[in-house]
């Protein structure tokens, strides 16, 4: 069971324009989408990035994590092109390519905390989680900007409308400037499965 605050979804969504307005969610409820929308999901196993596990020197491989996020964003973007012709309905094919929505998430957080000698849910673990998720978010957006520069932004992209989203407005200024100047390859980038 879970709770979804639809007013928050609508207020925070960066895709409330050009036919991408969210009207429902995927089967598990973690991805608000437009009608016929598709979202390719992938997760990064955070436990795989702990160095010197269970020792006093335990720490995260921040550079390795950043590289994995960049590869994952590119991989998920490529899946859109491979998968689009395989959608059962024409409207699904069109929606998937128009918004290029992807959902990069995480798994293995409890194992990651254990390997870092952190108690799950403790103040120190929540501080690490905040830093982790900020790094993942910022790296994913930076990579989508790079992809937009290489391959073009998603077809429904409108920089003015996208930058109006309260969520996007909270991104660091260099990322917002990159979105404004080069666009985004993907209308949405992150998702954490329930």
Query: What distance in Å separates the CA atoms of residue 171 and residue 115, rounded to the nearest whole number?
Result: 30
* Contact yes or no for 39/98 (Cβ under 8 A): no
Contacts of 27 (CB under 8 A, 6+ apart): none
Query: Phi and psi at residue 103, in whole multiples of 5°?
Result: -140, 95
Q: Is 18 left (phi over 0), alpha (psi -120 to 50) or beta?
A: left
- Given the structure tokens 């899946």, which residue do they identify? 79
Query: What distance in Å separates the CA atoms of residue 156 and residue 16, rounded to the nearest whole number?
Result: 11
CA 101 to the chain's CA centroid: 9
Question: Which structure tokens are listed for 182?
Answer: 């080069």
Contacts of 176 (CB under 8 A, 6+ apart): 163, 168, 169
Active site members: 26, 28, 30
Query: Phi and psi at residue 34, in whole multiples of 5°?
Result: -75, 165
């Amino acid at each position: 069971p879970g709770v979804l605050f639809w007013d928050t979804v609508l207020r925070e969504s960066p895709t409330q324009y050009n036919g991408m307005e969210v009207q429902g969610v995927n089967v598990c409820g973690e991805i608000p989408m437009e009608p016929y929308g598709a979202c390719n999901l992938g997760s990064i196993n955070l436990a795989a990035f702990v160095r010197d596990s269970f020792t006093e020197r335990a720490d995260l491989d921040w550079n390795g994590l950043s590289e994995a996020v960049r590869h994952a964003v590119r991989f998920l973007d490529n899946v859109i092109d491979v998968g689009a012709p395989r959608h059962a309905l024409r409207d699904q094919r069109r929606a998937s390519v128009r918004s290029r929505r992807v959902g990069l998430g995480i798994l293995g957080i409890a194992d990651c905390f254990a390997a870092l000698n952190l108690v799950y849910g403790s103040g120190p673990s929540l501080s690490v989680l905040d830093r982790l998720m900020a790094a993942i978010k910022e790296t994913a957006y930076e990579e989508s900007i790079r992809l937009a520069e290489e391959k073009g932004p998603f077809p429904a992209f409108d920089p003015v409308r996208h930058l109006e989203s309260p969520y996007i407005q909270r991104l660091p200024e260099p990322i917002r400037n990159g979105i404004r100047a080069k666009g985004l390859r993907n209308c949405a980038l992150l998702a954490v499965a329930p």
